[in-house]
Amino acid sequence: MKTYLIADISVHDMEKFNEYRQLVPEIIAKHGGQYLVRGGKSDVKEGRWQPGRLVVIQFPSRKDAQAFLDDPEYAPIAQIRWAAAKTNLVLVDGL
């Protein structure tokens, strides 16, 4: 079953975040991940949620998604994101 990593990102240091954006695609691909949404325009139609930058990444399985998050090569890259932005992140199983 495919798993989707969904991130709502509020960037406060765009220079640092751009560094993250350059480094992360290779490690996502290493784990079979594929971007489906990468910061496009969003419109809230119901509720009070005000998302920042939305990202949706499809992985072949939850195991692959978790392997991406746990990969030691990703750890220093994640540190860059944590320094540049506040992130809400969830994994969701799907079709």
Q: What is the pLDDT of residue 40?
A: 85
Report d(CA 25, CA 21) in Å as an integer.
7
* CB contact at 8 A, 34 and 58: yes
Report d(CA 35, CA 4) in Å as an integer.
10
- 15-24: average pLDDT: 97
Q: Is 39 left (phi over 0), alpha (psi -120 to 50) or beta?
A: left
Q: Where are the domains of the chain?
A: 3-41+51-93
CATH annotation of 3-41+51-93: 3.30.70.100
pTM score above 0.85: yes
pLDDT tens-digit series, residues 30-70: 999 999 999 888 899 999 998 989 999 999 999 999 999 99
